[in-house]
Structure 1
């Protein structure tokens, strides 16, 4: 009887604690927020399937929601009591987390929740997935450590099957340490003391956490690479616990219709011939569906669904002997904004999927065909939406270990300075850049890799660039956007504020593609829509939208004059205001467009006229 009463009381206590946590959470409104912040459901934030490039059956469970959190000293053990509730997957410093506290290098951030394993996962291998956690993570299940991970921008997972208890609740605890810019790891634009172009720290879980049930032998990932010239798709898979004789059956579909198929050994790469293929481009972002089945003795063991596109990005000379950026063997001028991917309410994390796609849709409406994803990596759902929308992406590696000299003088190759990074700093960079490229390889929208931005931690430039090119020969590599220039990689990238400019085609046009990697930055504060009252800035400030647009239009006219001289692409700073920067097309809360969208589209789309390149 005592035991029964104790169990009933425990259940009541658990329910009461859960209700208390629910009541404790609230959106922190000490600063501006987006219109989507109020739509966040604390019971099910960001409920979308988080990995659209590899979809298994519906046997998965989203773990986003209210967890317990605590902040302790760095050397302290797991706390016995917690400080309150936090809304996962929003970083602890964000308004949407409901916490809004800084952590820092001398403290640890702890998370705890209890989960139930659905009956549908019984007799399966149970994987615990994290989209991204910044930075150093250790995960415990029922008190036992199941694994560690270092890296703030790449997904990771642990097989937790052997750590689960029979029946009942399972306790998941996560320990995170993140020194922000006080450590050797890639940290992007977050700093302990935000100012100027450097922003609020992001600590802990900031992408979806989820469970997945898989068979003992399963497809962990695929790598698919199109070859437009050879009319083929090459596909390989990472199969866990593979056995001799296991095979992969790959089917290519147009909608639901199978148009090509191939079988190969589970450890081998399959080369699939494509006939009369439809090429992917911003004007026609056609995606083929994929079904990959793991066979053992001709019986299905595992099956996943994915997609791919037939598209080619390359470098080739035009009639004047100047190197051009080619899409599907034709020159297409690429023009888009520098896109930080920050949110006033979620920091790294958009409040909802609807909010995330809003930015992309707005840029399409403004007439852009490209986005430079600046010093940040996005959730997988972002890249899939760009694939569907037909947006070309330039992907930066998040920077770290800033401080080497900057010799931004295109035309002079004898004044470069590579930073002498510590062994730890270099090791973290290499490991994470490799992981990011692996995680993002399959997205056709990504056409350019950027290992370094300006001189922010730029080191061993030639070696890193050539390694990047060798790892992924299917894309172009922009070795150091606006940084210290070397004759390496496919692209020479100039940053010039505020007006457009370009590297000299006479000096470099035969060797590298010439691009303007950053320009613009025209600033306009909008009252009631700024992150802070003072210290707002742009590279050139204006008091009215009309005056700023007039200047912007002059810039696009100048770009149209540079294209026939050899300019292949340009990147305007930037999509939205970010904290103290007020140089966005939209305010930070996305509530005000500073320029009329239709006028933007008219000015921008003129740049895609093929006649300009002749």
Structure 2
């Protein structure tokens, strides 16, 4: 294994680690970032350690850079947490506020994500428990903070990785090929936020372009239903990396009171639609008592319409759009699941846009909230996978046999729990719960245009019921119920993967069709690869050969499939990851492997084919 760095590694190592406000959809002013150096211990016991400075009792201890997992080079630890071990974090925080008044104030402790199961203690008191390695959670620690200005945080973490049914994405304790290094612990930003006792807890923003309106629902902590919130909406603009600030709030378009807990319908006169080329966002200020937040929304509409030949096509704001995307694993050589900086997140999105792509499929992972914010403000469409889980996958079934059956058009129902690795009832219920939580957490981001329920049969079950549930939770977006092999003939999209044999287009299909994975062409560049071993679906030895291979794939397979119904495509993949060197970018993000102007030209041809269709 070769330790790779990125151009952002040194910045993170110097302690300037992800200091930006972590939740741009709900911005407040009084907050403290807790990213940085914490103490840690790894033990095979679940008993709370009495002393973090006893090397005889705890041979694996020291300091860890949060929010990087102990497996990541940037953490400073570089050790795999095993399923029978417990990772303990410790940090003492001196609050910057003079007092925390239990009557008028509320102190919230936020975790962006902790993989996989954690318990939090504050000043020796149990503060909360959370299960699920990909979702944010918040703890109210006001009572503890009100008695002491100095807080001691103790966090215990266990991670079963791929030895259990919990959601794990592409993580594997024994990585290789298409599966990557398992990571654990705190991997997204930790922060404290001081708010009023009566404060805004959550928002739900749903645009309606046809009716020129916004549905807004504000949930608050107060039980006093008589107190209203004040909503102010401003003229749309292109947001910068700083998000919604006073500077962004210029021309006031709407001001009015709304009742918390009830959905308000707010008029948006002469709305300016959000598009990939012009991603204008409407800044919003919401005040509730002493609490004030900034947020934003976009006026955009997603649906499927028939072209002049009766073929279903993806539409954005009633205009046909070919969604040409890449599979985005969200892995980094220095941070694993955690990007080394905010600029690194921006780089991936911006580079794909410059190459002509207008969509990213976030694969087997939920990103940090700022990634979605950058997609919102930069106009990048997002297909969001639900994070796969389940017991050990039957690789012979979900890879080799599935590929052949897919080519031969042999349908397979998802009833067999053994074949689909979903024998655990608890695991199935957990997936349903986390699907609900994922939609709730990401609902307000306008860049997300499609939810992907399952991928290639990994833990797939009750596909139609899951898709129906997603539709009820969010009718404003499209649903890809089964990306890959095991289509169950439901919901919006017929989702096809193509790596071997021929492209198995259905003879007749009433749903919109997407080539949701294809390509995977490999080219290893010495000095920019983490491993000497090469994994991919077709190997090339030079930039010219790779570029010609991709060009031939687009010209001979993808472009001819568009008139036959293909309306979106997802090339595998955005960057190399460990042994899988089939990225458009090298793993360290230093090189674009194919010739850029060729990729941009091919994407332009794809998008033009759909835009030229009459509706």
Conserved in 2, the CA contact under 8 Å of 1:181 and 1:191?
Answer: yes
Conserved in 2, the CA contact under 8 Å of 1:125 and 1:215?
Answer: yes
Change (3 A) 1:366 1:77: same
1:109 is matched with: 87
Which of 54, 58, 64 matches 2:35? 64
1:487 is matched with: 489
Matched, 1:50 2:22: yes
2:393 is matched with: 403
Per-residue deviation, 1:430: 1.3
Matched, 1:221 2:202: yes
SS in 2 for 1:176: strand
Which of 375, 378, 383 matches 2:372? 383
Per-residue deviation, 1:119: 1.9
SS in 2 for 1:186: coil
Which of 68, 88, 109 matches 1:128? 109
Change (3 A) 1:269 1:120: farther
SS in 1 for 2:346: helix
Matches for 1:288-437 after TM superposition, within 5 Å: 288-294=282-288, 300-401=289-390, 402-403=392-393, 405-406=397-398, 407=402, 408-409=405-406, 412=409, 414-420=411-417, 421=422, 422-437=424-439
Partners of 1:332 and 1:325 in 2: CA distance = 6
After superposing the two structures, state which structure 1 stretch, 44-53 or 601-610, moved more: 601-610
2:586 is matched with: 587
The two structures have a TM-score, normalised by structure 1, of 0.91
Partners of 2:466 and 2:409 in 1: CA distance = 21
After superposing the two structures, state which structure 1 stretch, 99-108 or 250-259, moved more: 250-259
Matches for 1:79-90 after TM superposition, within 5 Å: 79-82=50-53, 83-90=61-68
Change (3 A) 1:396 1:243: same
Conserved in 2, the CA contact under 8 Å of 1:523 and 1:540?
Answer: yes
Per-residue deviation, 1:501: 3.1
In angstroms, what is the RMSD of aligned CA positions? 1.8
Which of 178, 197, 213 matches 2:178? 197
SS in 2 for 1:173: strand
Per-residue deviation, 1:348: 0.2
1:277 is matched with: 271
Conserved in 2, the CA contact under 8 Å of 1:499 and 1:520?
Answer: no
Change (3 A) 1:484 1:302: same
Partners of 1:436 and 1:263 in 2: CA distance = 29
Deviations 1:220-278 (A, max 9, x none): 11000011111111010121123120112222101411112332211211101111110
Matched, 1:268 2:249: no
SS in 2 for 1:137: strand
Deviations 1:257-313 (A, max 9, x none): 11123322112111011111100010111100111122xxxxx33221100000111
Change (3 A) 1:596 1:425: same
Partners of 1:54 and 1:120 in 2: CA distance = 25
Per-residue deviation, 1:42: 4.3
Conserved in 2, the CA contact under 8 Å of 1:59 and 1:120?
Answer: no
Per-residue deviation, 1:538: 1.4
Per-residue deviation, 1:410: 7.1
Structure 2: gaps (5+ residues):
54-60, 236-248
SS in 1 for 2:108: strand
Per-residue deviation, 1:164: 2.4
Per-residue deviation, 1:329: 1.3
Structure 1: gaps (5+ residues):
1-28, 295-299
1:519 is matched with: 518
Matched, 1:97 2:75: yes
The two structures have a TM-score, normalised by structure 2, of 0.91
SS in 1 for 2:3: coil
Which of 547, 550, 557 matches 1:549? 547
1:18 is matched with: none
Q: Number of residues paired by the alignment? A: 576
Partners of 2:538 and 2:227 in 1: CA distance = 62
SS in 2 for 1:119: coil
After superposing the two structures, state which structure 1 stretch, 261-270 or 272-281, moved more: 261-270
Partners of 1:571 and 1:281 in 2: CA distance = 19
Conserved in 1, the CA contact under 8 Å of 2:100 and 2:145?
Answer: no
Conserved in 1, the CA contact under 8 Å of 2:325 and 2:570?
Answer: yes
Conserved in 2, the CA contact under 8 Å of 1:59 and 1:212?
Answer: yes
After superposing the two structures, state which structure 1 stretch, 407-416 or 537-546, moved more: 407-416
Per-residue deviation, 1:30: 5.8
Partners of 1:443 and 1:465 in 2: CA distance = 20
SS in 1 for 2:562: helix
SS in 2 for 1:371: strand
